[in-house]
Amino acid sequence: MNLNSLFGLENETAVVVGGTGILGGQLAEALAGCGAKVAIVGRSEERGMERVKSIEAAGGTACFEQADAVNLESLTRARDAICERLGVMSILISAAGGNRPDATLPPGSDFCKLPLEAWQGVVDLNLVGGALLPSQVFGETMVQEKKGSIINIASASGMIPLSRVVAYSAAKAAVLNLTQFLAREWALTGVRVNAISPGFFPAEQNRKLLFNDDGTYTDRGQQIIGHTPMARFGDPQELAGAAVWLASHRASSFVTGQNIIVDGGFSSVTI
């Protein structure tokens, strides 16, 4: 067996919902680098086209389709357009997600005062837009074609109920549960469903939580570094290997319902 061929994604069409973000964008580039035609799906046309141009500059094939991950109709329109432009998708990465300040509990705050609207907003973005609707829309096509790999981007906080980000942690825990449900539901259809749980990777939504304006760690950032055996945050490129492995039908054909943790050892340390 040629091991290099295990990870080739030629003749595959991949969809990255949330590909306009830092993590999703890096994963889109990784799939394109292995030969997949990649559709970037997100709300920001500017950031989506920037990622498309980056992929094309490296010799890859990509397109952008504007859609809101929590809107069924816009996702359905994006799916139909992608099938027409790039062919039927066989890989889906659901990378939409994030937190919001009013759903984060500062030290000493009262959980009982957490606004319901904030809670629902975070759950909608991370569970509904981050797994449920993309799986329904793009998964439907994969089930019909009897081939597919769905990769949901969860979080280390979905396994460990971290302080402050209670709504985000609960939503990501639900993503892991839904991943296992779909893996079982679609096991005989040729569609595999797995998750990747990143540890702490600085991005737009958590940068101020981790870093001061001068680039030093906040108290929260320092606590996380102190709890991480590798004593650093992750780089988005360090998720690429896990994503390509799960995306490849040759490399991970017997892998479904799993949660691949990429966290520098954070989850191995007892709180």
Catalytic residue list: 168
Rg of the chain (C-alpha set): 18
**Unique residue bearing structure tokens 């909608």:** 124
State in Å, rounded, how far the first CA of the chain is from the last one.
Answer: 43
Report whether 40 contacts 48 (CB < 8 A). yes
From the number of C-beta atoms within 10 Å of its C-beta (0-12, 13-18, 19+), residue 106 rates as: exposed
Give SS3 for 194. strand
Residue 39 · residue 79 · CB < 8 Å: no
Q: Give Cα 6 to chain centroid, integer Å.
A: 22
Residues whose CB is less than 8 angstroms from the CB of residue 173 and which lie 6 or more positions away in sequence, other chains included: 158, 159, 161
Rounded to whole angstroms, what are the CA distances from 148 to 13, 46, 88, 171, 246?
10, 29, 10, 24, 10
Task: Write out the two tokens for 70.
Answer: 């929590």
- SS3 assignment, position 41: strand
Question: How many other C-beta atoms are found inside a 10 Å radius of the C-beta of residue 244?
Answer: 23
